[in-house]
Amino acid sequence: MDDDTMVVACLCAAWCDICTAWRPEFDALARRFPGVRFTWIDIEDEADALDDFEPENFPVLAVQRGAALLYCATVPQHVGTWERLIEAHLSGQAPSCPAQALPDLRGFV
């Protein structure tokens, strides 16, 4: 993977009905952005790798470019909102968001 490749992750849990319902929309977003690597991370399956990461709610959108975590926050499961945030990060016009402590997302792709 190129060091400048953008990674978009959805952090969810298998028991979360909202996450289950959101998965097809997230997969559709991945098809709209072929130059971006998308990954679905179940926080319980990946608990060891995620260390102390404990989201307050679901789903969590995380965006990383290279080694830099650019965005990590709970975002409502609305396609247009996620699409605008991804486009903003691709164009360099993204809103700032305090990034939470996450391991390198490239290890999940």
Domains in the chain, start-ordered, CATH in brackets? Answer: 6-108 (3.40.30.10)
Cis peptide before 59 (omega within 30 of 0): yes
Query: What pTM was estimated for this model as a whole?
Result: 0.85
Question: Is the separation of the CB atoms in 70 and 99 below 8 Å?
Answer: yes
Q: For residues 69 and 19, what is the distance between their CA atoms, to the nearest angstrom?
A: 22
Q: What is the pLDDT of residues 69-85, one digit of tens each?
A: 888 888 898 999 999 99
Question: Is the separation of the CB atoms in 36 and 64 below 8 Å?
Answer: no
Q: What is the pLDDT of residues 23-79, one digit of tens each?
A: 999 999 999 999 999 999 999 999 999 988 888 889 999 999 888 888 888 889 899
Residue type, 48: D
